[in-house]
Structure 1
Amino acid sequence: MWDAMRAIDYVHTRDDIDTSKIGYTGCSGGGTLTSYIMALDPRVTCAAPACYLTTFRKLIETRGPQDSEQNIFGQIAFGMDHPDYVIMRAPRPTLITSTTGDYFDIKGAWENYRQAKRVYGVLGYPHQVDMVEVEGSHGVKPQSLATIGHWMQRWLLEKDANVAIRDFEDDLQESTVLNCTESGQVLSLKNERSVFDLNAELAKSLAAQRQETNGTLSDEALRTAIRKLAGIRNPSELPAPKMEEVGRIFKDGYHIDKLVLHTDSGIPLPGLTFHPKKPQDGAYVYLTDTGKTGDSEKNGPIEKLMNDNYAVVTIDLRGQGETGRGERDEILGDWKQFYLAYLMGKSLVGPRTEDALATGHFVANYDKPAGERREVHLVGVGQAGIVALHAAAMNPDLFTSVTIKDVPKSWTEIVGSQDLQGQLDSIVHGALRVYDLPDLVRLAGPEKVKFETSAE
């Protein structure tokens, strides 16, 4: 957004431009940016965002949250919807440009327009907001482009005449002709830095700040700060889960009990207990990114724990397995769920940590006399390892040991990497201003936390 506003600053340095008549348009990501800038910068006289504006309700009910730049943290929670981008600039001229088959739902686009039209009407300028719908999928069509041109002429040139439809694809220049840098990539410029470089620099600065502040905080004060940021309730506030038995599967040398844990979240947590014939009293809680069936293959990690006579309880953390939307994306993880939580001002880590704590409480107290509980060993693999580490940090007395597999030892060390995949699930907005993973290890108890990789 700042770059876009700086572009307007540049236009204002030109003597050959009437800066009282600046138009702004763009499609898809450009439609998103147009929506932001037209709402925030009063220098935009006339705007025509394309293939973006709908309503969050229709977007979430149909396609779900979209790309990262289209999701502002806490946006839905503090009550800002797509129509507000138009309403914020009323009564300056605005054209909502949509296509019938766009995944930015067309019904939501018309609802957006209706809300804006009412506000513009109250202000006495109903004619200064309009909408065009053209048949087609996502993207600006020739008729859309002509209508945008007509709209810009009307409000910037005071010329209200139709613009002819052109098959503009025939006139496209080769991209190299339009390059403004020698290589066609700004990163090749001297002293240029990537977003990864900038993030790494910021993370290093935040680490220095944390070293000063966290060193003076008590463990409980740091826990409180992390709970507030990640959205985790104090373990003392979490009621004991209720277990529902739903079946048993007999295997060679062991059996699997099927269960559902019910917590006050209202979200059922399907789970499995892998039960050897003669189990020890201590037991494992085993969390993976694929839910309750992860690592349960023959001769796999869970079977090896059973060979040591440990019962192993696995669970579908909310959004996984039977509570999920389908398979995780290899690169982005469970990005739809993540961005829905992000729009609500929440993380996935927070509620999933509460799920892990509920599971640990169930295992510790199941079939034990009042006042007694068994030892619980916690394993977390992949992004579920981040959840496990948060759970152990929030209630270290609940877990005897904590094994974290395939998890970075520090967020600070990885934010500058371009090769990481599947990390989105475990992002906590603003985390590095307050804590990093080593702080969680400190709170869980360094002597009980072990990091491993799958290769090991």
Structure 2
Amino acid sequence: MHYLNQEAESLSNGFSSRSSSLTDWDSIRPVRYDQFIEMMGFSMDEERDPPKIYPSGTLQQKGFRIEKFYYESLPDLFVPANLYVPDNIKKPRAAVIYLSGHSHGQKVNYQAHARRLAELGFVTLIFDTIQFGEVWGNHWGAYNKGWFNWYSRGYNPAAVELWNAIRGLDYLATRADVDMENIGATGISGGGSQSWYFAAADPRVKATAPVCGAGTMDSQVGERRIDGHCDCMMINNGFQIDFTDIGALIAPRPLLIAQSDRDELYGIESTHQFYKTLSKFYGEFDSEKNVSLVETPGGHSYHPVSRKAIFSFFLQHLMDKKVASETIADIETNAENLLPADSLNVYNGTPPETDLTKTIQNSFIKTAEPPIINSREALNAHQNKVKDYLKSRTFGAFPDSAMAFDGEMIYRTADLSKFGNNTYSFNSEKGWRLKVNIFYRQPQDKKSPLLLVLRSPGEERWESEGYANKLAENHNIAYLEVRGVGEVGWAPELDWHVRRSAAWIGRTPASMQIYDAMRALEFCRTLPEVDPTKISIAGRDGMAAIAMYAAMMDEKCENMYLSNPPETHDQPSPKNGRDFALELLNVLRITDTYQIPALSYPTKTYFSGEIPPAYAWSDSVLHRAVNDQLYIVN
């Protein structure tokens, strides 16, 4: 827990070193922008036609009309929407996109905001999210369904919502009554975080006003506020950013941050912190006046002060009208003056048969197809491609420079093995000191081969020994507990929190375990009794995957021994997260477990018992490319 808090704090405090000076920002910003969009999982560079619109009716209200329709943001992904259009438009009007939060009914529940904006003269688009609208899809994957494989896919529901907002704006761009030079975005909670994302991603958004939608990473993880959050409230953070970095992508455009002071999800101290940091950054543009904070009393909700401040903000920045917020009427909350769901809904209970809303999580991110590899050259090229990708997108949180091992023998005995047993401790990463326990089947006064065995979480005493004693008979055997196992483990009731928090700060339990295994391999090579050219690694079940990736990234392992390795990262967990944490950020965009034996060549791979069917791909590649194969040991 301390480690997660430490790394979250490092992300939050490191904004200044990542943002640099305004002079440097001109070259840094395009890189940060591309990384942000990549983490969302789509491209902003491709040409886009306007989305197809399916009208379903119009409602005339006093001073404005409501156009009901749904639009197709992707093939067969339909978005129910209402457009509030002021009467008597003579020339293009400023427009606001209202981004719905996590409330049932969506465009129905938040209609009072759209109505008030229309009364103030703004064309206002409000649409359903994929979670709680006319069709109920899924925002809560890792949160309460055990879909931690979303992290491996590189998927986050925030990306779908952002894409739907961008496509909604693409539609507004086709309308003669919309002034595309004056576009605003606002929303609360999930709609608040989407307001940040939308303005950061789409430069057409001139002014944005997020409400209760952002906090620094140190607060989210360190205060465990993350535990109350939907998965959509932070992107798939492979490039290790803080919400302040998202704000930097909005600068110097107008930004009003509205936050309540007793919000369970966002500590006001956290808001003060990133507001202060962003204000200083806006000052680099001589635009400090463009960022403001409205603080209101209460929990995770609007307040009349924040609503009216937002109206005043949009009037000023989108219509060039300076109107004191206290003079602006608040939203109408009397149910008698609002419309029921059956008036505002567009599907009338029958969405399009082909609608993907309930299953978009399975197709939004295109996972990598296994490549066809027929030669040593093609294998080498793909090995390098995969490892380069993983270094920056999956293992990007690995330390830039490794700590000194500061190795120490902490236990020794002449018992337990033919030539005794030694235990060494060493530094893996800051805050993590691990132990490697070596059983000597060969004399300690000569260099001998070594097999490093990764212990499994929850294993019985001597269980790994029973497995390893059948392997590599001429090797000494070393046993390692990586993070999450044994002495360096944590209580199982923390698994769910650790898995989600780790992903929010750009790593996973599996990536941390892979780093530990790689460090142990390197440490063992420094020992005088170890032949550094003859080190192998072994693991069972989930730890077999850790062993595979460690061997591939290490590039020096002679052999790897696997027992019952998982065939894919794309599998769910129990909703409480209490199984092996197999997820690796973005890995399925480039490879999968069954491909790693081939990609680890020339390391040879030995399976205990049968080779799982999916691994036939690696066996086939090795046969065709290098005239080798996967091996079986009994």
1:181 maps to 347
Q: Provide Cα deviations, 1:54-93, integer angstroms capped at 9, x if missing partner.
A: 445555554487746623645557997244144242xx3x
Q: Is it true that 1:356 corresponds to 2:517 in the alignment? A: yes
1:390 counterpart (549, 552, 560): 549
Q: Is it true that 1:301 corresponds to 2:463 in the alignment? A: yes
Kept in 2: contact 1:22–1:43 (CA 8 A): yes
User: Any gaps of 5 or more consecutive residues in structure 1?
Assistant: none
Q: Provide Cα deviations, 1:92-127, integer angstroms capped at 9, x if missing partner.
A: 3x3111122334342332243345545666767655
What is the aligned-residue identity percentage?
A: 18
Once residues 375 and 219 of structure 1 are traced to their aligned partners in structure 2, the CA distance between those partners, rounded to angstroms, is: 23
- In 2 relative to 1, CA 438–215 (structure 1 residues): closer, same or farther, beyond 3 Å? farther
Once residues 425 and 175 of structure 2 are traced to their aligned partners in structure 1, the CA distance between those partners, rounded to angstroms, is: 67
- For 1:82-161, list aligned pairs within 5 A: 82-89=246-253, 92=254, 94-102=255-263, 103-117=265-279, 127-156=289-318, 158=321, 159-161=323-325
| Residue correspondences, number | 423
Structure 1 residue 405 displacement after superposition: 3.4
1:244 maps to 408
Q: Provide Cα deviations, 1:159-215, integer angstroms capped at 9, x if missing partner.
A: 43424567949678776765433448x6x6326373344258x33xx426x326x85
Q: Is it true that 1:225 corresponds to 2:372 in the alignment? A: no
Structure 1 residue 4 displacement after superposition: 0.7
Q: 2:309 is aligned with what amino acid?
A: T
Q: 1:287 is aligned with what amino acid?
A: L
Kept in 2: contact 1:56–1:82 (CA 8 A): no
- In 2 relative to 1, CA 111–2 (structure 1 residues): closer, same or farther, beyond 3 Å? same
2:35 maps to none
Once residues 449 and 181 of structure 2 are traced to their aligned partners in structure 1, the CA distance between those partners, rounded to angstroms, is: 74
Q: Is it true that 1:334 corresponds to 2:499 in the alignment? A: yes
Structure 1 residue 436 displacement after superposition: 3.4
Once residues 380 and 390 of structure 2 are traced to their aligned partners in structure 1, the CA distance between those partners, rounded to angstroms, is: 15
Q: 2:539 is aligned with what amino acid?
A: V
SS in 1 for 2:505: helix
1:379 maps to 539
Kept in 2: contact 1:284–1:379 (CA 8 A): no
1:39 maps to 200
SS in 2 for 1:334: helix
Kept in 2: contact 1:229–1:428 (CA 8 A): no
SS in 1 for 2:389: helix
- For 1:253-268, list aligned pairs within 5 A: 259-263=424-428, 265-266=429-430, 268=432
Q: 2:594 is aligned with what amino acid?
A: P
Structure 1-normalised TM-score? 0.69
Once residues 581 and 232 of structure 2 are traced to their aligned partners in structure 1, the CA distance between those partners, rounded to angstroms, is: 11
- In 2 relative to 1, CA 448–238 (structure 1 residues): closer, same or farther, beyond 3 Å? farther
User: Any gaps of 5 or more consecutive residues in structure 2?
Assistant: 1-161, 613-634
Structure 1 residue 142 displacement after superposition: 4.9
Q: Provide Cα deviations, 1:247-268, integer angstroms capped at 9, x if missing partner.
A: 589x9999997652235x4554
- In 2 relative to 1, CA 101–327 (structure 1 residues): closer, same or farther, beyond 3 Å? farther
- In 2 relative to 1, CA 252–362 (structure 1 residues): closer, same or farther, beyond 3 Å? closer
SS in 1 for 2:377: coil
Q: 1:260 is aligned with what amino acid?
A: S
Once residues 169 and 326 of structure 1 are traced to their aligned partners in structure 2, the CA distance between those partners, rounded to angstroms, is: 49
2:3 maps to none
Once residues 429 and 350 of structure 1 are traced to their aligned partners in structure 2, the CA distance between those partners, rounded to angstroms, is: 12
1:26 counterpart (178, 182, 187): 187
Kept in 2: contact 1:365–1:374 (CA 8 A): no
- In 2 relative to 1, CA 427–178 (structure 1 residues): closer, same or farther, beyond 3 Å? farther
SS in 1 for 2:266: coil
SS in 1 for 2:298: coil
Once residues 60 and 337 of structure 1 are traced to their aligned partners in structure 2, the CA distance between those partners, rounded to angstroms, is: 9
- For 1:307-322, list aligned pairs within 5 A: 313-318=478-483
SS in 2 for 1:341: coil
Q: 2:195 is aligned with what amino acid?
A: T
2:166 maps to 5
Once residues 375 and 13 of structure 1 are traced to their aligned partners in structure 2, the CA distance between those partners, rounded to angstroms, is: 64
SS in 1 for 2:213: coil
Q: Provide Cα deviations, 1:130-182, integer angstroms capped at 9, x if missing partner.
A: 21112233343454334334434554563434245679496787767654334
Kept in 2: contact 1:142–1:168 (CA 8 A): no
- In 2 relative to 1, CA 40–378 (structure 1 residues): closer, same or farther, beyond 3 Å? closer
Kept in 1: contact 2:525–2:531 (CA 8 A): no
Q: Is it true that 1:271 corresponds to 2:435 in the alignment? A: yes
SS in 1 for 2:245: coil
2:586 maps to 429
Q: Is it true that 1:438 corresponds to 2:601 in the alignment? A: no
Kept in 2: contact 1:55–1:108 (CA 8 A): yes
- Which one has the bigger strand percentage? 2
Structure 1 residue 333 displacement after superposition: 6.2
Once residues 424 and 286 of structure 1 are traced to their aligned partners in structure 2, the CA distance between those partners, rounded to angstroms, is: 18
Q: Is it true that 1:287 corresponds to 2:443 in the alignment? A: no
Once residues 150 and 95 of structure 1 are traced to their aligned partners in structure 2, the CA distance between those partners, rounded to angstroms, is: 11
Kept in 2: contact 1:286–1:378 (CA 8 A): yes
Once residues 432 and 2 of structure 1 are traced to their aligned partners in structure 2, the CA distance between those partners, rounded to angstroms, is: 19
Once residues 245 and 532 of structure 2 are traced to their aligned partners in structure 1, the CA distance between those partners, rounded to angstroms, is: 51
Q: 1:392 is aligned with what amino acid?
A: A
Once residues 288 and 430 of structure 2 are traced to their aligned partners in structure 1, the CA distance between those partners, rounded to angstroms, is: 45
- In 2 relative to 1, CA 380–394 (structure 1 residues): closer, same or farther, beyond 3 Å? farther
Q: Provide Cα deviations, 1:338-357, integer angstroms capped at 9, x if missing partner.
A: 33135xxxx76566434213
Once residues 418 and 14 of structure 1 are traced to their aligned partners in structure 2, the CA distance between those partners, rounded to angstroms, is: 46
Structure 1 residue 282 displacement after superposition: 8.1
Q: Provide Cα deviations, 1:256-281, integer angstroms capped at 9, x if missing partner.
A: 97652235x455442364969999x9
Kept in 1: contact 2:184–2:205 (CA 8 A): yes
- In 2 relative to 1, CA 98–388 (structure 1 residues): closer, same or farther, beyond 3 Å? same
- In 2 relative to 1, CA 75–403 (structure 1 residues): closer, same or farther, beyond 3 Å? closer
Superposition RMSD in Å: 5.1
